[in-house]
Amino acid sequence: MFKVGDLVRINEHCALNFFINKLAIIKMSLGHDATEHKDGSYYMLHFSDGSEHVFSQRELDLISRVYKK
């Protein structure tokens, strides 16, 4: 599971080629999809161009974890 503020990369499981290998920050967790048995969590991501899009956990690779002081 990812945390708000984590830096992630969109991986090859994403159906939209435009987003593959783009970096984004986790803005919020949208919860778990009960119909998915594995990796059924969804996240809203914030991209550097200011746009926000929703992706499933299986479409994301962790680049850097956020740490609170």
64 exposure class (CB count in 10 Å sphere: 0-12, 13-18, 19+): exposed
Report the SS3 class of residue 13.
coil
Quote the pLDDT of residue 7.
97
pLDDT of residue 32: 84
Mean pLDDT of the chain: 91
Q: What average pLDDT does this structure show over 21-50?
A: 88
Res 47 pLDDT > 90:
yes
What predicted TM-score, i.e. pTM, was given to this entire model? 0.85
8 Å CB contact between 27 and 52: yes
Supply the pLDDT for residue 37.
Answer: 64
